[in-house]
Every structure is written in structure tokens, then in C-alpha cells.
Structure 1
Amino acid sequence: MYTPRAFAEDDLAGLDWLLARDPFATLVTCGGDGLPVATHLPVLYARDGGRVAIEGHWARPNPQATHAGPALLIVHGPHHYVSPDWYVDKAEAARVPTWNYAAAHLYGALQPLHDEAGLASIVARLGERFEPAVGGRWRYDHDDERERRQLRGIVGFRFAAERIELKFKLNQNHPAANVESAIAGLRALPGEAAAEVAALMQDRLRRRPA
């Protein structure tokens, strides 16, 4: 991922935040024909210091479910268009439009999982992770033969991240006055995306050295 120094993050708390906010990621591998294969799927995230592990599962017919080895996991954060009209120096600096966003690229190795216990654990923990958010009460029941039988339709995976790139592009390369004005412009817009990007911009502005 192209990441100018101004936008690079080295604090993995940023990755924690991204995956807590949106654990629906994009998993990219190379197929047997050399072409990229991508799957969009919910993931389970765990971090112990600098060690990051991701788990999830594919539908068994998914061609990616046969893959073991190198992979890229893309984590998506909030994003929004930023108008140059918001900048205080727009005329003298000939400012142009841009797009502010946060994202992470995780590079590592995939290990497919086929054992029933491993699959059951992934399915159960996915339910525990997402059901409360929608007020649901579903829980995986390993004693139910029908539910155990459905495990045959999936292939699980573990992904160990070996390199992590965090990019928070939030006008860090602009004067503070421009950032403050762009924050105001975003806050005047409807929608959660504009508010989230504005909040991130405010946070990064607050972190600037005096």
C-alpha cells in the first residue's frame, strides 16, 4: 500500500480500532492461474502485543478455500471526500480535492482448517461476536447433529500477520488551519462517514507536536 510518511501509523491500537469498528474484511490470494482471488468475509481478530491472528471461514466451494500460504487481508475504515473549498489557503496554494480514509493491509500466511472442533469453535465465536449487536440469541449448538453436519460445508482458516501497514490519511500534510476548516466542513454534512472521518482528523490534529 502506498503510504507517505505523513499518513503512516505504527501504533497497533489503530488496527484494534479498525477491526472493532468493522470486522468485515477482504482476503486476497493468488489463484492457480496467477490471477488474484478475493473474498469478503467477517473475521475474528486477536492481538497479543505485536502478534496478530485472524480467523474465519469460507464456503467449501469457494476456490480460495483450497489456498494455503501467502495472503493479504485488507481492513476497511471510514472514508470521505474532502473539498478544497474548505481550506483557508485554497486560492494561494491552488488546493485540489482529496479523499481522506483509514485502512490497514496485513500480509501473512493462511492455514486452512478442516477439523470439526476447529470449525465449531470459529462458528461459535462468530455468533458470540455478532449476535449481541443485533439483539439475536442464536448460539452454535454442537450437540445438534444438524448444526454439526453443516460444518461440512465450510473450510476454516487461521491467518498469521507477518507485516502490517496502517494508513490514516487525514490531512496531516496540511496546515492546522486547513485541517480545522475541513473538519468543520465534514461535520456540517449528514451521515456517519463524514462524522467519523472528522473525528479521526480531530484526533490526529490533537496529536501534532506543539
Structure 2
Amino acid sequence: MYTPRAFAVDDLQALDALFARDAFATLVTTGDDGAPLASQLPVLYRRDGDTLHIEGHWARPNPQASHYSPALMIVHGPHAYVSPGWYPDKEAAARVPTWNYATAHLRGRLERFDDESALVDLVTRTSDVFEARVGGEWRFESDDDRQRRQLRGIVGFRFHVDAVEIKHKLSQNHPAANRSAVAEALSAGDTNAREIAAMMRAIEP
């Protein structure tokens, strides 16, 4: 990922926040034929100090379920268009449009598994997390043979992270007056824009 120094973030709490906001990540791998393949997948994320624990699963027919290392996981944050008309120095500096956003790219290795006990554990924890987020009550019933048979249709993975790149492009390379004006304009926008405005204001000196 192209990350100018002004936009680089080295605090893993920023990664925690991205996963807490949106745990529906993009996983990119390369098959034996050299062609890249991307899947959008819900994942479970946990951090112990500098050690990251990321788990998820594919549908078994997904070709990516047979891919191995290396892999890239993209974690998506808020993003918003920035109009050059918002900058106080738009004429003097000949400003152009841009986009502000937050994201993280994780590079690492995949460990596949399909033993039933591990899949039961994964699906149980996954449903517990995401049902709680929507106020639902569905749970995986390990005693229900019908549900256990459906485990044959998935393959689990653990993603072992080797490198983390976090990028917050929040107009840090602009004068303070521009940053304030952009944050003010974005605060009147949609949910993504308001999130970016809040992030911009959080880093103001």
C-alpha cells in the first residue's frame, strides 16, 4: 500500500478500531495459476499486545479455500470525497479533488482447518459476536445434527499476520485552515463523511 509518512499510523489501537467498526474484510490470495482472487469475509479479530488473532471461514466451493500463503487482508474504514472548493487556499494553491479514508493492509500466512470440533467452536463464536451486534438470539446448536451437517460446507482459516500497514489519510499534509474547513464540510455529509470529520478533529493539535 502506498503510504506517505504523513498518513502512516503505527498504533495498533487504530487497527482495533477499524475491526470494531467493520469486521467484513477483503482477503486476497493467489492461486497456482498466478491469478489473484479476493473474497469478502466476516472475521473474528483479537489482539494480545502485538500478537494478532484473526479467524474466519470460506464456503467449501470457494476456490480460495484451497489457497495457501502468502495472503493480504484489507480492513475497510470510513472514506469520503473531499472537494477542492472547501479549501480556503483553493485558488492560491490550485487545489484538486481528493479522497480521505482509513484502512489497514495485513500481510501474512493462512492456516486452513476443517475438523468438526474446531469448526463448531469457530461458528459458535462467530454467531455469538455478530448476533449480539444486531440484538439477535440465534445460536449454533452443536447437538442439532442438521446444523452439524452444514459444517461440511465450510473450511475454516487462521490468518497469521506478519506485517501491518495502517493508513489514515485525513488531510494531514494540508494547512490547519484547510483541515478545519474540510472537517466542517464533511460533518454535514453522510455517515462515512461524518466519521472522517470526527477522525480529522481527533488529530488536530
Q: Same fold (TM over 0.5)?
A: yes
Per-residue deviation, 1:57:
0.3
User: What amino acid maps onto 2:200 in structure 1?
Assistant: M
Q: Confirm whether residue 16 of structure 1 aligns to residue 13 of structure 2.
A: no
CA distance in 2, matches of 1:132, 1:13: 22
Secondary structure of the structure 1 residue equivalent to 2:108: strand
Equivalent runs, 1:164-179 vs 2, <5 Å:
164-179=164-179
Q: Where does residue 86 of structure 1 map in the other structure? A: 86
Q: Where does residue 200 of structure 1 map in the other structure? A: 199
Moved more, 197-206 or 55-64: 197-206
**Gap regions ≥5 residues in structure 2:** none
Structure 1 vs Structure 2 CA RMSD? 0.8
Per-residue deviation, 1:187:
1.2
User: What amino acid maps onto 1:4 in structure 2?
Assistant: P
User: What amino acid maps onto 1:200 in structure 2?
Assistant: M
User: Any idea what the Cα deviations from partners look like across 1:119-153, whole Å, max 9, x if unmatched?
Assistant: 11111111011102222110111111111111010
Per-residue deviation, 1:68:
2.1
Instruction: Show structure 1 runs of 4+ deviating over 6 A.
Output: none
Per-residue deviation, 1:91:
1.0
CA distance in 2, matches of 1:99, 1:157: 33
Q: Where does residue 147 of structure 2 map in the other structure? A: 147
User: What amino acid maps onto 1:95 in structure 2?
Assistant: R
Secondary structure of the structure 2 residue equivalent to 1:69: coil
Moved more, 22-31 or 83-92: 83-92
CA distance in 2, matches of 1:112, 1:177: 50
- The number of aligned residues is 205
What is the TM-score normalised by the length of structure 2? 0.98
**Gap regions ≥5 residues in structure 1:** none
Per-residue deviation, 1:174:
0.5
What is the TM-score normalised by the length of structure 1? 0.96
Equivalent runs, 1:11-160 vs 2, <5 Å:
11-160=11-160
User: What amino acid maps onto 1:192 in structure 2?
Assistant: T
Secondary structure of the structure 2 residue equivalent to 1:131: helix
